[in-house]
Amino acid sequence: MLYREAGQFKTTYGADQAIFPIPQDRWVVYAVIALAFVAVPSVANEYWLQAILIPALVFTLAAIGLNLLTGYCGQLSLGTGGFMACGAYATYKLSTAFPEMNILIVFLLSGIPAAAVGCLFGIPSLRIKGFYLAVATLAAQFFLVWLFNRVEWFYNYNPSGTITAPPRTMGGFMVTGPEATAEARYLVALGFVALFALLAKNLMRGRVGRAWMAIRDMDIAAEIIGIRPLTTKLAAFAVSSYVCGVAGALYFAIYLGSVETAAFDISVSFLVLFMVIIGGLGSILGSILGAFFITVVPILLTNVPEALGLPIGVALAKQLENIVFGAMIVFFLIVEPHGLARLWQIAKEKLRRWPFPY
Amino acid sequence: MSEAYADAAVSAGAPQAPARVFTETLLSVDDISLSFGGVKAISNVSFDIKQGEIRAIIGPNGAGKTSMLNVINGFYHPQQGRITYRGKVRKKMRPNEAAKTGIARTFQNVALFKGMSTLDNIMTGRLLKMKRNFFWQALYWGPAKAEELQHREYVEHIIDFLEIQSIRRTPVGRLPYGLQKRVELARALAMEPHLLLLDEPMAGMNVEEKEDMSRFILDVNDEFGTTIALIEHDIGVVMDLSDRVVVLDYGRKLADGTPDEVSRDQKVIDAYLGVPHE
Ligand SMILES: Nc1ncnc2c1ncn2[C@@H]1O[C@H](COP(=O)(O)OP(=O)(O)OP(=O)(O)O)[C@@H](O)[C@H]1O
Ligand SMILES: [Mg+2]
């Protein structure tokens, strides 16, 4: 069947406001979700899950978090790594202090300290914008990593300075700790991404999202329609940091299992920012595409030449990766600020007209 | 074309239609002075705006018209003077607080949200009226969804009214200038304001677009009963639309009265012809 909207008339505003107003899109999305939850865990091997899918999902969550702040509300942040660390250390403290607390609750609560810290470091955004704000959030990044490194209480005075996720179950299945299978951890990460993607999308297509985008696009005009810049920006920092905090909790407990503060350094902040830029600023779909793209490309660069009989070595692959990312970021920043998500949309528009040139 | 506009169009130059009478004062500014460093933008200006009227503010470039609107909606805080709005002396307030009291405006240079569609831009005008909290919003379900749809319906009403159905989904950045101005008016109307401030709504438009815009302004005033304060350079338009005109020049009030009175005022004629100040 051709991909067409013709003949599909929306008879209610409700139908018109749906996330995927075109039925074909809706079915594709349902199919992808079903595949992800059912087919993937039974087909994918340990390597695929642990090396690609779990990190891609965890970073998707972080990218959604940052995109809420930077893509939708227009506030540039380089503190993502620090906010993720807040979530990770909160998970560690909560799960060791309250061993009987359900790990799901622990993850959800872990976002709260991150939200509070995000709010605090968001205060300068009331006065400063763009580059200067980025520098202020950079301060948050360095301060938080320093703090978690320095104050031994955060890692329970463990002489090695690492935090390790204690074994916990969810619905009878082990999801953290050495016993947890990759399938179980994958499903937890997937569940969080699905849930947060939906909540974020809902938030952004309603009143809250419009207020944030108004602040992003023109703060003077936002004020005359009654938006308070102060509370709006702080809310964006809080919500964004909450999501990043939960992503940090998963990054620690579900993906890596055991981390030091180095796992949350500035390179993580940049990595998530690149995902958002390449995927598409102001797009939830873009956050997903960007995170998967940036996780998968390095693996392709190491494996594809080898499969073709051209072993290029790890060092060269790493160089190639930097070149590819650098070039893509420049390309997207200059040519297509809406990223992969926009390219996808253009492809769909072409498909809608196909086979006619216009 | 609406009758109101037809009347107004005919009345240009022809004998004046019977003047509409307004009694209740909606807003009055008293003895307002505003300066930026050494530049006096407004000096001791007083005038009032009556409930239901279309009030024009005219004057040469740099006369202080935009500054006056900025004072009324809280962007600028005058060094001196008093604003009375709906019977109460108003305290110093920010634009978002002024919005809450029912003051909406459009800008001289279009100030739309460039990254959003026409529909979303207009929906932002409903923000203050949407009450469901964050958690309902995130669920987009039940009361939150009902609220969203109810406001969508109101916005659709405005979209029909301003005849912009076909550009609902277009990102506003891609619209021609004239339509952008219309979307900005739509956003202001979505706020259901008591007082609508329009800063040169027809600047840069061709004759046809100006006619459309004039008709919309008259219809808004007529159908919604909205009080309108309007800055406009095109004297023909001002004569057609407004009930009363205040003339500013170099930050001072030069004249105040019906379009007829003002256009016969020698000081006004001099100011427009550029007769040097003594
Ligand atoms: N923010 C500001 N800072 C400094 N000076 C300002 C500011 N805003 C306005 N002015 C000055 O105040 C005076 C009045 O400006 P205003 O914009 O109110 O004029 P206007 O009547 O709207 O003119 P125009 O018809 O060109 O729009 C000008 O001399 C202008 O330079
Ligand atoms: Mg002006």
Q: Kindly provide the b/e burial profile for residues A137-170, where b requires at least 16 CB atoms within 10 angstroms of the residue's own CB.
A: bbebbeebbebbbeeeebbeeeeeeebbbeebeb
Same domain? B9 vs B97: yes
Interface check for B168 against chain A (CB to CB < 8 A): the answer is no
pLDDT at B10 over 50: no
Same domain? B44 vs B79: yes
Work out the end-to-end distance of chain A between its first and last CA atoms, rounded to an integer number of angstroms: 19
Say how many residues make up chain A.
358
Same domain? B86 vs B32: yes
Distance B180 CA to ligand 1 centre (A): 23
pTM of the predicted structure, to 2 decimals: 0.90
pLDDT in tens, A6-42: 555 666 777 777 777 777 778 888 889 999 998 888 8
- Quick check: A223 and B105 CB within 8 A? no
Tokens 């239609």 belong to residue: B17
Residue B15 pLDDT: 47
Same domain? B206 vs B273: yes
- Quick check: A17 and B148 CB within 8 A? yes
B105 forms beta bridges with B197
Q: How confident is the model at residue B3 (pLDDT cuts 50, 70, 90)?
A: very low
- Give the closest ligand to the alpha carbon of residue B107: 2
In a domain, B108, yes or no: no
pLDDT at B278 over 50: no
Q: Region B257-273: what's the mean pLDDT?
A: 86
Q: Which of B192, B217, B246 is the last residue of a domain?
A: B192
B7 Cα distance to chain centroid: 22
By C-alpha distance, which of A42, A43, A15, A60 is closest to A289? Answer: A60
Of B96, B124, B149, the CB nearest to A13: B149
* DSSP helix/strand/coil, B81: strand
Q: Which of residues 179-218 of B touch A (CB under 8 A)?
A: 187, 191
Same domain? B150 vs B270: no
CA B65 to ligand 1: nearest atom: 21
Cα–Cα dist A50/B153, whole Å? 48
Cα–Cα dist B196/B220, whole Å? 10
pLDDT at B189 over 80: yes
Cα–Cα dist B54/B5, whole Å? 13
Q: Which of B165, B192, B219 is the last residue of a domain?
A: B192
Please give all residues whose beta carbon lies within 6 A of any atom in ligand 1, as ranges. B 36, 39, 41, 59, 61-67, 108
In a domain, B107, yes or no: no
Q: For A226, which residue in chain B has the nearest alpha carbon?
A: B96
DSSP code per residue over A43-73: HS-HHIIIIIIHHHHHHHHHHHHHIIIIIIS
pLDDT at B5 over 50: no
Interface check for B113 against chain A (CB to CB < 8 A): the answer is yes
pLDDT at B255 over 80: yes
Residue with CA closest to ligand 1 atom 28: B62
In a domain, B272, yes or no: yes
User: What residue numbers bound the domain in which B131 lies?
Assistant: 113-192
Same domain? B96 vs B123: no
In a domain, B48, yes or no: yes
Residues of B in contact with A200 (CB under 8 A): 138
Q: Report chain A (358 residues): mean pLDDT per 10 consecutive residues.
A: 57 73 81 89 87 95 97 94 97 94 96 96 86 90 95 91 91 87 94 96 93 94 93 95 98 95 95 93 94 89 78 79 85 81 79 64
- Quick check: A210 and B120 CB within 8 A? yes
Same domain? B97 vs B208: yes
ipTM of the shown complex = 0.88
Of B127, B138, B139, the CB nearest to A227: B127
Q: Region B216-233: what's the mean pLDDT?
A: 94
In a domain, B78, yes or no: yes
Q: Which residues of A touch B (CB under 8 A)?
A: 12-14, 17, 199-200, 202-203, 205-208, 210-211, 213-214, 216-218, 220-229, 235, 282
Q: Which of residues 123-162 of B touch A (CB under 8 A)?
A: 123-128, 130, 132, 134, 137-140, 144-145, 148-149, 152-153, 156
Same domain? B6 vs B85: yes
DSSP code per residue over A223-241: HHTT--HHHHHHHHHHHHH
In a domain, B277, yes or no: yes
CB-CB contact of A294 with A62 (8 Å): no
Of A8-17, A331-340, B31-40, B108-117, the one with minimum mean pLDDT is A8-17
Cα–Cα dist B29/B68, whole Å? 9
Q: How confident is the model at residue B18 (pLDDT cuts 50, 70, 90)?
A: low
Of A211, A217, A226, the CB nearest to B115: A217
Both tokens of A28, joined, read 């594709």
DSSP code per residue over A295-357: HHHHHHHHHHHHHTT---HHHHHHHHHHHHHHHHHHHHHHT-TTHHHHHHHHHHHHHHHTTS-
pLDDT at B197 over 90: yes
Task: Quote the number of domains for chain B.
Answer: 2
- A121-129 own/partner pairs: CB under 8 Å, 24+ apart: A121/A79, A121/A237, A122/A75, A122/A233, A122/A234, A122/A236, A122/A237, A122/A238, A122/A241, A123/A234, A125/A75, A125/A233, A125/A234, A125/A237, A126/A229, A126/A230, A126/A233
User: What distance separates the 2 farthest-apart alpha carbons in chain B?
Assistant: 68
- Give the closest ligand to the alpha carbon of residue B58: 1
DSSP H or E segment with residue A186: helix A182-205
Chain mean pLDDT for chain B: 88
Interface check for B171 against chain A (CB to CB < 8 A): the answer is no
Cα–Cα dist B69/B248, whole Å? 12
In a domain, B263, yes or no: yes
Residue B20 pLDDT: 82
Residue B164 pLDDT: 94
pLDDT at B17 over 80: no
Of A317-326, B67-76, B115-124, the one with minimum mean pLDDT is A317-326
Same domain? B80 vs B141: no
Cα–Cα dist A275/A133, whole Å? 20
Interface check for B174 against chain A (CB to CB < 8 A): the answer is no
Q: For A212, which residue in chain B has the nearest alpha carbon?
A: B124
Q: Which is higher by pLDDT, A158 or B275?
A: A158
Residue A134 identity: A
CATH of the domain at B85: 3.40.50.300
Same domain? B26 vs B97: yes
In a domain, B209, yes or no: yes
pLDDT at B165 over 60: yes
Interface check for B44 against chain A (CB to CB < 8 A): the answer is no
Residue B172 identity: V
Same domain? B269 vs B146: no
> How does DSSP classify residue B171?
B
* Strand residues in A208-273 grouped as ranges (E): 258-259
Q: Which of B192, B207, B232 is the last residue of a domain?
A: B192
Same domain? B147 vs B271: no
Contacts A–B by Cβ distance under 8 A: 100
